[in-house]
Each structure stands twice: as structure tokens, then as C-alpha cells.
């Protein structure tokens, strides 16, 4: 085997730094999360089903982030700039789906009982059961519309920030989402909570009557949603990130989106997806993390090899300053 010289190592490191210098802080953070996930799987292989596919998914995720950054440098059109800039949104979906295999990595049991007891002492009722008195097809449709609209709303807010404010604000928004999702997922692994739809399953006396959005919610639950992992609510955390960025940069959009986000805050409890503690924890977590985004963004941009021009998109001037 050829001997590896110190000069070769330094040259390889410089090439790696030059490559990562074209990545934004959000890209580096997502890559670090995926790498950390694979390391965790290697440490606890017996507790992770389908670990080979998870390693492959993490590798493809990191590679796709790099490919998106390379394509941005090719001076593509503005619409494609947005698609490539928002690519981490797809990585977030993978992170969410991967969580289903990692949620029991540290604990075999669930931590629902302390949350249930805390909320009962605080409110005197189990809110998920109490909300049955509110059930009607009209309420269900509005609540589940709010719950489902969250999915496209994440991308819609990204588009608003990119085209109306600038790519620099989009980058910080994506970093805020990355922090909110990843920290929520780590807490979920440390404190796995199953959720009221399972713990109270035998206690509910009424189904959530509805029509179109009830049907769509059932499809989502069957084919796309993780069956467990409630604390804290990543939906509530992401919705709060949206509101905080729109409130600062796009007031008109903020007032349009506000009732939608408030609706899916409420729908997490009405729809039996979360305890109210999950939702409040997600909101508070997002407020804390968004306050840290500017400092973390500057830290990521100052990493060795990074350069300011790599944080912008050719042909697109930011109006965020």
C-alpha cells in the first residue's frame, strides 16, 4: 500500500475545505446531523431496524446537498435557484422518516404517563378527551385543513422569503427549520412519547367525523406519517419558525399565515396527534432556536474555507439588508 504523506493529507483537507466553502451553514448543519445519525446507528445497531437503508439514505442526503450547491454555482435561472436553495426541505422529510427507526434507540418504553399526569394536574381534565365535545364535521374539516396545510406552507413561506426578501433570509429560515426539526427529533429519541391517539385509544367515545380533509388526514397517517414520536411537536416548532420569520420580514404574509398556524396548533390536540404539552414545548423550542439563528449562521459562514460569495446565488441580489 502506498505510503500516505503529510503533504497529501494537507492537500486533501484543502480540497475538502474548498468544497465545503460553497455550502451554506444550513447545508453543513444538515450534513452534520445525517453523519451523526449514521454514527448513532453504528453505536446501537441492534436497536435500529433497516440500518443499511438508513446509512444509504444519509449518504444520499449528504451527496444531494453537495450536488445542489454545485448546481447553484452553474448560474441557473432564478426559479431553479430557488428550487436548489430550498433543497434542504427534502432533507428534512428524510430526517423525519428516519426518526421512525430511531425513536426507540435509547429507551424501550414510553414517557406518556408523566405528561398525562402533569396536564391533568394543570387543567383538571385530559384535553384530548375533553375536546370530544367539540367534534362536528365542520370543526373537524377546519382543524384538519389547518393540520394538512402545514405541509405545503413550509415551502410557500420559503418561496415568499426568497422572491420577496432575498436568499440570505431564506438561508436563515432554512437554518431555523433545520434546528427546530433536528433538536425536536433528538429530544424525541431521548424522551419518546407515543401520543394521545394511542394512549387514549380505548377511552375515546367518538370518531372525528369529517369529509375531504378527514379522508386526506387518514391517508397521510397511513402512508406518510410516523406512527409515534410526539414530544415536542415538530409541527408546532416549524409553524413558529414560519411566523417569526414572516413577522420580521413580510408583515402582510404574516397576517395571512397567522390564522393557519394557530389552527394547526389547535389541530394537534383536536386531531389527537399531540398532548398540549407537546405543542407548547415545540413553540418554546422554536422561539429559543430562532433567537440563536443569526449567531449560528455567522459561525457557519466563518468556517475555514467558507467565503461570502458562496452564501449568495449568482444573478440574484438580496434585498434583506
On whether the CB atoms of residues 61 and 37 are closer than 8 A, the answer is: no
Q: Which long-range contacts (CB under 8 A, 24 or more apart) does 27-32 make?
A: 27/65, 27/66, 27/68, 27/69, 27/88, 28/300, 28/303, 29/175, 29/178, 29/179, 29/182, 29/296, 29/300, 30/61, 30/65, 30/88, 30/91, 30/95, 30/178, 31/61, 31/62, 31/65
Angle at 291 between CA 285 and CA 294, to 5 degrees: 135
Cα distances (angstroms) measured from residue 289 to each of 92, 149, 168, 178, 311: 16, 23, 18, 10, 21
For residue 253, how many other CB atoms are within 10 A of its CB?
A: 19
What per-residue confidence (pLDDT) applies to 96?
Answer: 94
The pLDDT, as a whole number, for residue 319 is 44
274 contacts 233 by C-beta, under 8 angstroms: yes
Q: What is the pTM of this model?
A: 0.88
- Sorted by sequence, the CB contacts under 8 Å of residue 33 that are 6+ apart come out as 95, 178, 182
Closest to 226 in 3D by CA, of 185, 257, 286: 185
pLDDT of residue 314: 36
* pLDDT confidence of residue 230: 86
Q: How far apart are CA 57 and CA 321, in angstroms?
A: 37
Residues of the chain with pLDDT under 70: 1-21, 225-228, 302-321
Cα(290)–Cα(176) distance, integer angstroms: 6
Amino acid at each position: 500500500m502506498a505510503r500516505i504523506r503529510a503533504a497529501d493529507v494537507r492537500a486533501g483537507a484543502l480540497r475538502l475545505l474548498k468544497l465545503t466553502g460553497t455550502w451554506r451553514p444550513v447545508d453543513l448543519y444538515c450534513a452534520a446531523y445525517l453523519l451523526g445519525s449514521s454514527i448513532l446507528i453504528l453505536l446501537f445497531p441492534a436497536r435500529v431496524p433497516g440500518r443499511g437503508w438508513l446509512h444509504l439514505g444519509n449518504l444520499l442526503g449528504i451527496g444531494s446537498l453537495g450536488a445542489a450547491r454545485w448546481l447553484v454555482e452553474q448560474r441557473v435561472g432564478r426559479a431553479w435557484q430557488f428550487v436548489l436553495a430550498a433543497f434542504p426541505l427534502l432533507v428534512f422529510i428524510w430526517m423525519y422518516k428516519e426518526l421512525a427507526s430511531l425513536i426507540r434507540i435509547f429507551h424501550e418504553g414510553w414517557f406518556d404517563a408523566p405528561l398525562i399526569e402533569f396536564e391533568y394536574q394543570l387543567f383538571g381534565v385530559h384535553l384530548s378527551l375533553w375536546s370530544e365535545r367539540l367534534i362536528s364535521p365542520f370543526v373537524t374539516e377546519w382543524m384538519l385543513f389547518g393540520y394538512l396545510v402545514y405541509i405545503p406552507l413550509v415551502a410557500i413561506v420559503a418561496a415568499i422569503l426568497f422572491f420577496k426578501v432575498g436568499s440570505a433570509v431564506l438561508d436563515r429560515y432554512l437554518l431555523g427549520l433545520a434546528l427546530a426539526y433536528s433538536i425536536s427529533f433528538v429530544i424525541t429519541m431521548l424522551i419518546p412519547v407515543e401520543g394521545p391517539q394511542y394512549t387514549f385509544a380505548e377511552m375515546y367515545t367518538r370518531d372525528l367525523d369529517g369529509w375531504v380533509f378527514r379522508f386526506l388526514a387518514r391517508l397521510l397517517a397511513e402512508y406518510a406519517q410516523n406512527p409515534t414520536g410526539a414530544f415536542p411537536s415538530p409541527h408546532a416548532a416549524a409553524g413558529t419558525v414560519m411566523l417569526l420569520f414572516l413577522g420580521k420580514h413580510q408583515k402582510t404574509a404574516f397576517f395571512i399565515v397567522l390564522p393557519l398556524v394557530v389552527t394547526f396548533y389547535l389541530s394537534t390536540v383536536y386531531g389527537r396527534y399531540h398532548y398540549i404539552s407537546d405543542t407548547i414545548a415545540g413553540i418554546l423550542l422554536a422561539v429559543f432556536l430562532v433567537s440563536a439563528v443569526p449567531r449560528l449562521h455567522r459561525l457557519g459562514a466563518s468556517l475555514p474555507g467558507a467565503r461570502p460569495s458562496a452564501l449568495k446565488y449568482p444573478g440574484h441580489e438580496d434585498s434583506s439588508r
